[in-house]
Amino acid sequence: MKRQKVSVKRLAKLNKPEVPVILLGSIAAAVHGVTLPIFGLLLSSCINTFYKPAAQLRKDSEFWSLLFLGLGFITLVALPVQNYLFGIAGGKLIERIRSLTFKKVVHQEISWFDHPSNSRYVMIIFTSNYEVVNSQVNP
């Protein structure tokens, strides 16, 4: 089968019903993306704690440990939410593309199926191949 280039605009248009899910996933991705720079800032800021007296060291180390714990919890929540929401949007896009492909195949003329590259086995393999869609979405 001959592969054709698919425009990103067309894929975006097909994924339009999932825009709210994609936006929420993007927010979760932004939160996850900010965690490492914040971790670096926290780590560089807490180094001063080691040069303070013992009583102050204990108090400050508890403060910094709680901040790191909070940052870890935010990451623990943001990453699965991001993956889940993008997974929903991607799954519905693939479902929509498979449905459109099936509709096109069903409405072909009978002689179209006589061509060896259009046999039913090739069509089954083509429509079940996730990499066809994935290669267009993630070039």
DSSP letter for each residue of 73-106: HHHHHHHHHHHHHHHHHHHHHHHHHHHHHHHHHH
Domain assignment of residue 1, yes or no: no
Q: How does pLDDT run along the chain (139 residues), one tens digit per residue?
A: 566 777 888 888 888 999 999 999 999 999 999 999 999 999 988 888 888 888 888 888 889 999 999 999 999 999 999 999 999 998 998 888 888 877 877 787 877 777 777 776 766 666 666 555 555 555 4
Domain assignment of residue 88, yes or no: yes
Cβ-proximal residues to 21 (8 Å cutoff; 6+ apart), any chain: 85, 88, 89
pTM score, whole prediction: 0.72
Domain assignment of residue 83, yes or no: yes
Q: What is the residue range of 121's domain?
A: 8-137
Which CATH number does the domain housing residue 39 bear? 1.20.1560.10
Domain assignment of residue 132, yes or no: yes
State the Cα–Cα distance between residues 61 and 58, nearest whole angstrom. Answer: 5
